[in-house]
Amino acid sequence: MILFRYLASEMLKTVFAVTLTLLVIIMSGRFVKYLGQVASGDFAPDVLLLVMLYRLPNFLEVVLPLGLFIGILLSYGRLYVDSEMTVMSACGMSRRRLLIYTMIPAAFTAGIVAYISLILTPSGIQAYVDLLADSQSEIGVKAAVEGRFRLDKATGRVTYIEKANRDNQTMSGVFIAQPEPVQAGGRPLVSLVTAAQGRFQVDDTTAQRYLVLDSGVRYVGQSGDMDYQVTSFSRLDQLIRDPEEKTYRQELDGKDTSALWGSPALEDIAAIQWRVSLGLLVPIAALIAVSLSKTDHRRGRFGKMFPAFMIYMVYLVCLNAVRDAIAKGQWPVFPGMWAVHSVFLVLGLLLLYRDSMHRHWVLSWRRRRA
């Protein structure tokens, strides 16, 4: 028990540090992406923290297995470099017992990952999609930036707002410039709109969002020409953007796990196998990490980090590729992803007992020669 507590403590401390570091890196990159979406007006800034919270389980289910894998390599690698593993082996610590001691916290981590992938992640993704849909339909003036030109890359529209009143959801001093559809054989035109006031309005039937402008002027013509069509209006409705639909992967990953069980659809079968596979990935990755953690003073604790990381990435890429193949009917449902797990389980066992097998083969060869 003393050895187990010591090994578990060393491993879990490293796993926690690595997981936290990876999570901060991934969430920082995603946070920057979401900030860009806020700046472009895709959703209101007051939902940014909720968006990150709902996506957190999705990040954790991928980061935790990798954190455990790297944590085992680093912690056990240090023990080998400091000759602590040599002392433990001299006291009767075998590779098999080391594997058993490692699998106890690995099983605990696998349970956490399974709970996240089967329950928390679908709920989080569904809440994330619903939140974005509600935010985009009700975004209104919340995302308006005063005194700044804003470009919508999807439509080429440039918008400028002199002042925004977030209490009554109105704007004043609105300027809009956007390209107009070109007729056959015609020249590209530009539409310029200025209005004293404006507000956002959502159509209850189509859920489309409109910018309603009051008391303004619209100019249509070609840049550089004096021939412009000038129209004064008391009210002008402009479509901002069609409501965004959920992507295929978002809709599938947002389904409740209970709705996937027993479904004959290949996409649902691939999704449920993926969720279960994330839990199975943990103990098999732990086995591979224990097998590759053995090192010495010359190679150091980072000596096998690169090949180990490449094995892990190939494992994950194979699972993802098989998932897509199952969904498209290009890979049989059985063995499905279990074939990938079996291959890497055998690989981990071969790596773990390669020294024993090598000695056995050498002794057998010498006996035959004698």
Identify whether residues 260 and 128 lie together within a single domain.
yes
Identify whether residues 300 and 162 lie together within a single domain.
no
Identify whether residues 106 and 222 lie together within a single domain.
no
Q: Which of 285, 262, 236, 266 is nearest to 333 (CA)?
A: 266
Identify whether residues 133 and 186 lie together within a single domain.
no
Is residue 116 assigned to a domain? yes
Identify whether residues 210 and 317 lie together within a single domain.
no
3-class SS letters over 119-183: HHHHHHHHHHHHHHHHHHHHCHHHHCCECCCEEECCCCEEEEEEEEECCCCEEEEEEEEEEECCC
**CA separation for the pair 356, 358 (Å, rounded):** 5
Identify whether residues 173 and 272 lie together within a single domain.
no
- Six-digit token pair at 300? 């150091």
**CA separation for the pair 157, 179 (Å, rounded):** 7
Is residue 150 assigned to a domain? no
Is residue 143 assigned to a domain? no
Final residue belonging to a domain, choices 241, 256, 281:
241
State the pLDDT at residue 273: 94
What's the structural domain count of the chain? Answer: 2
Identify whether residues 236 and 286 lie together within a single domain.
no
Could you read off the pLDDT of 28-40 as tens digits, one per residue?
Answer: 998 988 887 776 6
In this prediction the pTM is 0.75
Q: Which residues of the chain have pLDDT under 50?
A: 140-141, 243-246, 248
Cα angle 159, 162, 164 (rounded to 5 degrees) comes to 95
Identify whether residues 266 and 288 lie together within a single domain.
yes
- Domain span at residue 26 reads 1-138+247-368
Residues 6+ away with beta carbon under 8 Å from 337:
273, 274, 277, 319, 322, 323, 326
Q: For 260, how many CA atoms within 13 A lie in the half-sphere containing its CB?
A: 21
- CB-CB neighbours of 136 under 10 Å: 20
Identify whether residues 115 and 252 lie together within a single domain.
yes
**CA separation for the pair 340, 106 (Å, rounded):** 19
Identify whether residues 237 and 255 lie together within a single domain.
no
Q: For 343, how many CA atoms within 13 A lie in the half-sphere containing its CB?
A: 13
State the pLDDT at residue 37: 73
User: E strands along the chain, which residues?
Assistant: 150-152, 157-165, 170-180, 189-202, 209-221, 229-241
State the pLDDT at residue 278: 94
**CA separation for the pair 171, 240 (Å, rounded):** 15
Q: Can you count the helices (H) and strands (E) in the chain?
A: 11, 6
Is residue 173 assigned to a domain? yes
Final residue belonging to a domain, choices 193, 209, 241:
241
Rg of the Cα trace of the chain?
29
Could you read off the pLDDT of 103-118 as tens digits, one per residue?
Answer: 999 999 999 999 999 9
State the pLDDT at residue 67: 94
State the pLDDT at residue 246: 47
Identify whether residues 119 and 256 lie together within a single domain.
yes
Final residue belonging to a domain, choices 241, 275, 292:
241
Identify whether residues 130 and 45 lie together within a single domain.
yes
